[in-house]
């Protein structure tokens, strides 16, 4: 639980009610000074405040859940991040154990207001605000403000109490790692409202440490301990209960699975609102330790490219690789590598529903994100110390020896499939990213 990011909210988020109208003011704070200088990103009315309040509560429930940590290990409450721009707002965050990712997308049809600025920032989700949010009724109006404008700051901050937040490495790493899984998802099922209810009625009430499978029998979707026919594997399925608060409002549910079967995703469609939930392979395996992003960080992209992308795109804007390649005369092969790199350092999220990346710069310094990968650092050290010897190298086959701690490891890369004699490969068989030895060989290649 090593802490790498500390920040303090200068004010607390509040929700107040005057003449049957609620005003929700979200306090924000980041490591990036230029973002902190933005007083307000959005101010306007929610078109469906009752349902939006339920969804925000579900995001809060997710980031405050812990499926593989004791109460003593839970150092502090986590708060979601929010991206405003391109006429929509996205809230996203992780469970404290990093195995569950939740994102609320409020589309343009769900908002009636003005986007004053574009960007991504941490937002304060405190207990009094969440309690008040849970009391919002169907006939009430709610004004949403991401940040404080000059009018509200004088009255809101008089009641403010500073709140210090500490984020561990894995929370930040998870926000980059999960995007690579989402980008590899394939749609398996689409359920209507009745099928969604039937599916969750079959979810066992007890805590399940093993795997279960979503299968279809006689036109019904249900959870089964047995794998049969077309199915989706869900590890530790009791974690899906974070979705219970929005089940009555779901009109359609799309279920996805990653290519390697190591993650699943549920997209709940609710008109102009949609919620995305991604689940790691099991409760004791968070997205932050997967290492799926490491291979894309082998070839470092120039930082001026990063700054250039930051000037080109606004928060939530679609990242169209084809258009960017044509307009800036960049080879398509380079664009694939660039896209993967940008996702790995938190500059891109992924919309699995529309199968496209969207721009959002995580509210943490880029150098901090790059420093959170010890396997990558160790691989670079192996290269720098000349600890790699190639035995054979052809277009489709590579064999190399890499010095380890008192032992030499043998690496074979054949038709893009890599094997190593180290303990990491033996334990995970490539399902949690490459070991440092394979990464080092790939760097030299």
Q: What is the pLDDT of residues 288-341, one digit of tens each?
A: 765 666 776 676 667 777 777 777 888 999 998 888 888 888 787 778 778 877
Helix (H) or strand (E) holding 256: strand 252-258
Indicate the domain borders of the chain.
3-93+101-168, 374-444
Question: What percent of the chain is modeled with pLDDT above 70?
Answer: 90
In 12-99, beta strands by DSSP E: 14-18, 21-26, 28-29, 40-46, 81-85, 88-94
pLDDT of residue 94: 87
CA distances from 90 to 55, 61, 84, 102, 417 (A): 11, 16, 7, 10, 36
Which residues, 6+ apart, have CB-to-CB distance to 423 below 8 Å? none
Residue 67's φ and ψ, nearest 5 degrees, are -105, -10
The pLDDT score that the predictor gives to residue 1 is 41
Relative to beta strand 21-26, strand 141-147 is parallel
Q: Which of 58-72, 255-269, 287-301 has the highest mean pLDDT?
A: 255-269
Give dist(CA 134, CA 142) in Å, integer.
12
Q: Give the pLDDT score at 49.
A: 93
Q: Most distant CA pair in the chain: distance in Å? A: 78
Q: Is residue 410's pLDDT more than 90?
A: yes
Higher pLDDT, 154 or 406: 406
Cα 139 to Cα 154: distance, rounded to the nearest angstrom: 29
Q: Is the pLDDT assigned to residue 76 strictly greater than 90?
A: no
Residue 213 has pLDDT above 50, yes or no: yes
171 CB contacts (<8 Å, ≥6 apart)? 78, 94, 96, 98, 288
Q: Give the model's pLDDT for residue 290.
A: 59
The pLDDT of 137-161, averaged and rounded, is 59
Evaluate if residue 253 carries a pLDDT over 60.
Answer: yes
Q: Is the pLDDT of residue 151 over 70?
A: no
Tokens linked to 160: 């403010």
Average of per-residue pLDDT across 89-106 = 92
Q: Closest Cα partner for 349 from 170, 185, 180, 187?
A: 180
CA distances from 23 to 45, 145, 380 (A): 9, 8, 51
Residue 109 tokens, joined: 């049809």
Q: What is the mean pLDDT of residues 21-49?
A: 91
Mean per-residue pLDDT for 378-404?
92
| Weakest-pLDDT range from 120-124, 255-259, 299-303 | 299-303
User: Can you give the pLDDT at residue 154?
Assistant: 26
Determine the average pLDDT of the residues in 248-274: 95
* List of residues 6+ apart from 70 with CB closer than 8 A: none
Q: What is the pLDDT of residue 434?
A: 84
Tokens read off for 232: 């989706």
pTM of structure: 0.86
Average pLDDT along the chain: 85
Higher pLDDT, 153 or 219: 219
Average pLDDT of the segment spanning 168-195 = 89
């Amino acid at each position: 639980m090593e802490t790498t990011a500390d920040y303090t909210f200068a004010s607390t988020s509040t929700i107040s009610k005057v003449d049957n109208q609620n005003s929700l003011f979200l306090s924000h704070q980041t490591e990036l000074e230029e973002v902190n200088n933005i007083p307000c990103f959005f101010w306007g009315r929610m078109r469906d405040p009752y349902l939006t309040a339920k969804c925000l509560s579900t995001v809060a429930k997710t980031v405050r859940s812990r499926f593989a940590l004791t109460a003593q290990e839970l150092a502090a409450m986590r708060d979601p991040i929010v991206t405003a721009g391109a006429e929509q707002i996205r809230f996203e965050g992780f469970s404290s154990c990093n195995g569950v990712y939740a994102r609320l997308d409020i589309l343009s049809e769900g908002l009636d207001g003005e986007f004053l600025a574009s960007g991504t920032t941490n937002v304060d989700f405190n207990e009094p605000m969440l309690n008040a949010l849970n009391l919002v009724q169907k006939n009430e109006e709610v004004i949403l403000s991401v940040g404080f404008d000059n009018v509200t700051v004088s009255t809101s901050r008089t009641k403010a109490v500073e709140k210090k937040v500490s984020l561990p490495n894995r929370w930040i790493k998870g926000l980059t790692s999960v995007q690579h899984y989402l980008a590899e998802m394939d749609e398996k099922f689409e359920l209507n409202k009745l099928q969604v209810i039937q599916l969750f009625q079959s979810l066992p009430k007890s805590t399940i440490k093993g795997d279960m499978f979503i299968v279809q029998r006689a036109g019904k979707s249900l959870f089964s301990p047995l794998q049969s026919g077309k199915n989706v594997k869900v590890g530790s399925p009791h974690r899906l209960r974070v979705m219970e608060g929005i089940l009555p409002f779901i009109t359609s549910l799309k279920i996805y699975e990653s290519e390697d079967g190591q993650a699943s995703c549920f997209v709940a469609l609710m008109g102009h609102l949609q919620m995305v939930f991604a689940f790691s392979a099991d409760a004791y395996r968070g997205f932050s330790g997967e290492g799926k992003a490491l291979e894309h960080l082998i070839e470092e992209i120039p930082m001026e490219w990063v700054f250039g992308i930051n000037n080109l795109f606004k928060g939530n804007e679609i990242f169209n690789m084809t258009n960017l390649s044509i307009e800036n005369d960049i080879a398509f092969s380079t664009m694939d590598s660039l896209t993967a790199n940008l996702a790995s350092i938190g500059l891109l999220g992924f919309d699995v529903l529309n199968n496209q990346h969207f721009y959002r710069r995580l509210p943490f310094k880029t150098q901090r994100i790059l420093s959170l990968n010890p396997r990558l650092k160790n691989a670079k050290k192996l290269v720098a110390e000349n600890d790699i010897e190639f035995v054979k190298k052809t277009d489709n086959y590579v064999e190399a020896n890499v010095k380890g701690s008192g032992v030499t490891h043998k690496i074979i890369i054949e038709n893009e499939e890599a094997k190593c004699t180290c303990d990491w490969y033996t334990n995970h068989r490539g399902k949690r990213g490459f070991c440092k030895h394979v990464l080092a060989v790939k760097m030299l290649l």
